[in-house]
Amino acid sequence: MVHHSSFVDEEGISKACGCPLLPLKSHIKGPAPVSDQDKTDIVDEAITFFRANVFFRNFDIKSPADKLLIYLTFYINVALKRLEGCRTLAVGTKAIINLGLENVPVPGELGFPFPGLFPIPQSNEEAGEARF
């Protein structure tokens, strides 16, 4: 059974390329609001549901947060592939930091992994917010 996001009706949440900018448990400043450390955020959901959702070829999207969950599942898979050859914690940490520093394509750009899932950004500001 596919697991869907619990962030279905998040009123007042802004979006970038049709993707909600949900609260995150992070100390890094960005377009998403900061969440309480004791609350589950979308990244926690993606990690929790990863093992189950990665096996599904089809995913019925019930909310915009499900699109973000699909993207995060893909990102976790990319991160795990980067960690495959890492033999030490230091090498693995460096690989993940470098992954986070890479220039990520936004919807409409060459190399974006899900063409058609997210609408193309309407402005440069929206494109900057959508750099998932």
> How high is the pLDDT of residue 38?
86
Give per-10-residue mean pLDDT for the chain (132 aa): 77 84 86 85 92 86 89 94 95 95 88 89 86 66
Q: Could you please report the per-residue DSSP string of 42-63? A: HHHHHHHHHHHHTT-S-----S
Read off the amino acid at residue 97. I
Tokens matching residue 6: 């619990």
Alpha-carbon dihedral of residues 78, 132, 104, 55, nearest 10 degrees? 30
pTM for this model (two decimals):
0.85
Domains and CATH numbers, the chain: 15-129 (1.10.1760.10)
Q: Is 132 exposed, middle or buried (0-12, 13-18, 19+ CB in 10 A)?
A: middle
> How high is the pLDDT of residue 58?
83
> How high is the pLDDT of residue 10?
66
